[in-house]
Amino acid sequence: MTWLPDAKAPLVCTERGWQPVDTPYPVSDAWVSYGPPMKLHGEGLRNSSIRSGDWTATPLAPDDRCRAEQLPVVPGAGVGKPRIDEAPPGQALSLQVVPLLFSIEMSGNCLWQKVDR
């Protein structure tokens, strides 16, 4: 899936190309980011669109750089300090999406995939 800037809902890749998602609360274990940062909500909120756990971001071109900025929920305190993970250009990024995630901004032309362990 991907989420275009200013769009109300994400798009999912099908055999017919990119199509609007028809479920009210879409969650995916694979996302594509490009252009401006893509902002998703995590399990620290109701109706999350990304699951916590181990993820890998793979650049879609040799010079692309994958970057994630996470805002965790701190129980009793609100939103915590940002956590930033970034890979050098052309290299994959391995990261952990925190368990009580408020939001994550994914940037770079990258394929983000949840790692099953």
Residue 117 scores a pLDDT above 80: no
End-to-end, the C-alpha distance of the chain in Å comes to 22
Q: Please give the DSSP secondary-structure letter assigned to residue 108.
A: S
8 Ramachandran zone, left/alpha/beta (phi>0; psi -120 to 50):
alpha
Which amino acid would we find at residue 109? N
Give the pair of three-digit tokens for residue 49.
């669109």
pLDDT digits (tens, 9 = 90+) for 19-48: 888 877 778 899 999 888 999 989 888 888
Give the pair of three-digit tokens for residue 3.
């989420």
**pTM for the predicted model, two decimal places:** 0.87
Question: Average per-residue pLDDT in the chain?
Answer: 90
| pLDDT for position 114 | 97
Q: How confident is the model at residue 64 (pLDDT cuts 50, 70, 90)?
A: very high
User: Cβ–Cβ contacts within 10 Å for residue 28, how many?
Assistant: 19
